[in-house]
Structure 1
Amino acid sequence: MKVQVCIIGGGPSGLLLSQLLHLKGIDTVVLEKSSRDHVLSRIRAGVLEHGFARLMREAQCGERMDREGEIHNGFEIAHDGVLSHIDLHKHSGGNSVLVYGQTELTRDLYEARDRLGGKVVHNAEDVAPHDLTSDRPYVTYRANGETIRVDCEYIVGADGFHGVSRKSIPKDVLREYEKVYPFGWLGVLSRTKPVSPELIYVKHDRGFALCSLRSQVLSRYYVQVPLTDKVEDWSDDAFWAELKRRLPDEVAARLVTGPSIEKSIAPLRSFVAEPMSYGRLFLAGDAAHIVPPTGARGLNSAASDIYYLYHAMLAHYQQGDDSGLKGYSAKALARIWKAQRFSWWMTMMLHRFPDRSEYEDRLQQTELEYLFSSETAQRLLAENYVGLPF
């Protein structure tokens, strides 16, 4: 097989880049180690920056998103038993976010690739990139007991934190930065009416909580738990009881509970790999960076990578201009580190840290008090939450 761009990873990042490039006549193939059903079973965040929503529309994948997505002009922060509102629309110059589940977004991208006859290979085993510093890189994978070679001009690694792409960069070239947080998020998806039309972030002495939603009949809730906890430790009843303890009384009173559709514990980490390119290999999304889910920057950070990479490849193939490809890593990382800072700040401000001193607890409380006393502080939060410019 021969293509111009071989994309490793069939999640939303890889599919979106493939779709955008295809629309411009650039031939791609996507290699995904899992089945399509498995990819579509992943439950992930669903808060989209306005810039990401525009990119989906440009990829001709935004019709259902615009029809079914929930526009949110703000969110609440619960603290000290009260709710304080953050007006995103007011403080970000009229911008908002769109709540639309990542599973649905990925399904839309798959359907778009199908419509155009895009090449997406599932159950691709032992994927390996080769000759990255040459002008003729290639990728091999195994399918049905056969080794298949893909000759290409560029390779994009969008295969997640545990994928092969980042590991293909020599250790003496790659530098990794990481912070692991001493807790995780226990998440429950339930077919229940959301407790609030907007997201509620909760700071509580018992730990952080989040009330989110996927639609008007599908809710997603989280509570902070120790890393030693297991899903089996938490019955549905125990989860709902703990969530209610952390919510203000007025919110807890209207919480609709029900059986969990999905329940999982996600550890929290901040991670960045530099550089995000090596020879003809370019990293995107979780292959290069991870953020805590606080503030919903993960999927959106991946979208900014795809934006920069897409435009860099357009310049190369349409104009013979390689400056975008050469500058991709530096440009992407400049925005990624800002997203890292914002996610770290939100996480530090809203979570209960088991080893933090009383002095640090008071600083945390002061940080929250300052936020609600300062229009400038709320404007900084809002402009980061709706998404910094690409």
Structure 2
Amino acid sequence: LDQPRSRVEFTHEGERKVLECLYVAGCDGFHGVSRKTIPEEKRREFERVYPFGWLGILSETPPVNDELIYSNSKHGFALASMRNENLVRYYVQVPLSDKVEDWSDQRFWDEFSRRIPSEAANRLITGPSIEKSIAPLRSFVSEPLRWGNLFLVGDSAHIVPPTGAKGLNLAASDVFYLHSALTEAVTGKGTGGIDDYSSKALARIWKAMRFSWQMTTMLHRFDGEDAFAEQMRKATLDHLAHSETARRDLAENYIGLPF
């Protein structure tokens, strides 16, 4: 990948294939081979693993609200989201030691109900789950996004906790930058775009990382946290409730920064 022309080898239908190319886009996710192809001495990784996960269920029931509900309570975080008028995705914060088998549908509904506002809980319609899983939360960035002819895109280079809903948004911005850069390169308009791809994409990635980290720390209770941390979380939420400037900043980041 650090030569003028690159070769990608793979097996298809039992036959070994070789693809010669000018550029390779590593879009193979966090567990793929692309990032690991970059020599360890050439890359730097940043990671924050959070000490909890999200237990989520999918249920064919009407949404409890026509907008998202992010809930911070003394019992922990909860999120109410919807897919359509009869399909919901709900989450509760759980310890990483928990397993899906520990949570019956009834236990989930009981816990979810006590974490969301009482007026929403009174409207809640429950039903059997059609899917249930626990997702760990982490923040992760690998730099640079380019090594030779290889360009990392999306989850192969970065992971955000779902609190800020920025995973797909970041992947889309990576694709936007790389598409423009490769178009310029292969049409003979110069290599400035591919030379700047990593720095341009990372500038936006780190802003989204900050926002997702901020949302996660603002909305979740951490085991072993002191009273000061709890008061800071309350102060942050109170600031959002009473400051239009703070709400505007959150909205700008939540909707997605321009790219």
1:303 equivalent to 2:164? Answer: no
Residue number in structure 2 paired with 1:325: 194
Q: Secondary structure at the match of 1:356?
A: coil
The count of corresponding residues between Structure 1 and Structure 2 is 259
Residue number in structure 1 paired with 2:232: 363
| Residue type at the aligned position of 1:337 | W
| Residue type at the aligned position of 2:192 | S
C-alpha distance in 2, partners of 1:162/1:355?
31
**RMSD of Structure 2 on Structure 1 (CA):** 0.8
Q: Secondary structure at the match of 1:192?
A: coil
1:277 equivalent to 2:146? Answer: yes
Structure 2: state its 5+ residue gaps: none
1:189 equivalent to 2:58? Answer: yes
Q: Which runs of 4+ in 1 moved over 4 A?
A: none
Residue number in structure 2 paired with 1:172: 41
| Residue type at the aligned position of 1:240 | W
Aligned-residue sequence identity (percent) comes to 59
| Residue type at the aligned position of 1:292 | P
Residue number in structure 1 paired with 2:215: 346
Q: Secondary structure at the match of 1:371?
A: helix
1:228 equivalent to 2:97? Answer: yes
Q: TM-score normalized by structure 1?
A: 0.66
Residue number in structure 2 paired with 1:78: none
Q: Secondary structure at the match of 1:138?
A: strand
Q: Secondary structure at the match of 2:41?
A: coil
**What's the CA shift for 1:296?**
0.3
Residue number in structure 1 paired with 2:182: 313
1:376 equivalent to 2:213? Answer: no
**What's the CA shift for 1:249?**
1.1
| Residue type at the aligned position of 1:363 | M
| Residue type at the aligned position of 2:223 | P
Residue number in structure 1 paired with 2:11: 142
Matches within 5 A, 1:1-390: 132-390=1-259
C-alpha distance in 2, partners of 1:189/1:150?
41
| Residue type at the aligned position of 2:37 | S
C-alpha distance in 2, partners of 1:265/1:349?
21
| Residue type at the aligned position of 1:280 | N
C-alpha distance in 2, partners of 1:257/1:300?
31
Q: Secondary structure at the match of 1:219?
A: strand
| Residue type at the aligned position of 1:288 | A
| Residue type at the aligned position of 1:357 | D
Deviations 1:78-126 (A, max 9, x none): xxxxxxxxxxxxxxxxxxxxxxxxxxxxxxxxxxxxxxxxxxxxxxxxx
| Residue type at the aligned position of 1:190 | S
| Residue type at the aligned position of 1:254 | R
Deviations 1:24-77 (A, max 9, x none): xxxxxxxxxxxxxxxxxxxxxxxxxxxxxxxxxxxxxxxxxxxxxxxxxxxxxx
C-alpha distance in 2, partners of 1:309/1:320?
14
C-alpha distance in 2, partners of 1:329/1:210?
33
C-alpha distance in 1, partners of 2:77/2:143?
31
C-alpha distance in 1, partners of 2:100/2:119?
28
**What's the CA shift for 1:318?**
2.6
**What's the CA shift for 1:186?**
0.2
**What's the CA shift for 1:229?**
0.1
C-alpha distance in 1, partners of 2:86/2:154?
30
C-alpha distance in 2, partners of 1:307/1:350?
31
**What's the CA shift for 1:261?**
1.3
Structure 1: state its 5+ residue gaps: 1-131
